[in-house]
Amino acid sequence: MRPATHGVVEAAPAKINLYLHVVGRRPDGYHLLDSLVAFAEHGDELRATAADEVTLALDGPFAPALTADDDNLVLRAARAVAATWRGAALTLVKNLPVAAGLGGGSADAAAALRALKGLWRAPIDDAHLRQIALRLGADVPVCLDGRTAFIGGIGEEIASAPRLPPAGLVLVNPGRPSPTAQVFAAFRGSFSRQARFMTVPRDAAHLAALLRAGGNDLTAAAQSLVPEIGDALAALAASPGCLLARMSGSGATCFGLYDDRVAAQRAVGWIAARAKDWWVVATALRT
């Protein structure tokens, strides 16, 4: 196989849980979920050029929070297929905070799989690639698709969802990690029902109205570990033009939904003036 001439660049967009319900628990202790997953325009970036071995360099504002060791999901993803496709020199530009409820590690691993497939022009079908993704983690397959979807099980069950309208997003992280395992261990609430809908939202306001029928069942557990989540939610809810404020995943990142990117950018200025040490980003839903 000849590699792509100038290398490959893959986006690893932030994964947003527009709602997240805990609907049960398996005998092995894993919680069963129902969630509507969407993706933001903002995220990490993975660059790949041809090489005989897999190597990983880290760059970007949140690179110091990571190590390029054997546990790194990008390396694990690349090595899972390197024996078949050969290696790659990878550079991960880490724009998203770590342990932040944005699926960053899973999105990065999915980007690595797509990047190596494109770099080596590998003739592999989607089903096989998804099997590899699932072995890396329950969230990796939905990140591999990169499309709005309902997820079930522990995150590995993927179902189609209505097309989302254009909408602005503000992502806020108060600067403290929220480890997923600890949040689930702290969860004490009763189980919820599915909150899926098949109505196609007309606009961002209609989407916010549909999402209000659900919530994020992990918010109280995450907030018990990272109290600043409550401050982030309050700031988003009070910002001008906010249609909905909610925590994503197991936190600590929270998001606000707005009519468009312009409204989101106005809200960023308002929030950043009140919390200068937070990570605050204006972006938009990928539709």
Rounded-to-5 percentages of helix, strand, coil across the chain: 35, 30, 40
| 142 exposure class (CB count in 10 Å sphere: 0-12, 13-18, 19+) | buried
Q: So which residues are the catalytic ones? A: 15, 139
Cβ count near 193 (within 10 Å): 9
Instruction: Decide: residue 199, CB within 10 A, 0-12 exposed, 13-18 middle, 19+ buried.
Output: exposed
Tokens matching residue 19:
């709602």
The domain ranges of the chain are 8-159, 162-284
Homologous superfamily of domain range 162-284: GHMP kinase, C-terminal domain (3.30.70.890)
Is the CB of residue 81 less than 8 Å from the CB of residue 157? no
Mention the CATH class of domain 8-159. alpha beta
Q: In this predicted model, what pLDDT tens digit does every residue of 115-151 receive, in sequence order? A: 999 998 877 888 889 999 999 999 999 999 999 999 9
d(CA 79, CA 234): 43
Q: CA-to-CA distance for 175 and 62, rounded, in angstroms?
A: 11
Quick: pLDDT tens for 146-204: 999 999 999 999 999 999 999 999 999 999 999 999 999 999 989 999 999 999 999 99
Judge whether 8-159 and 162-284 match in fold.
no
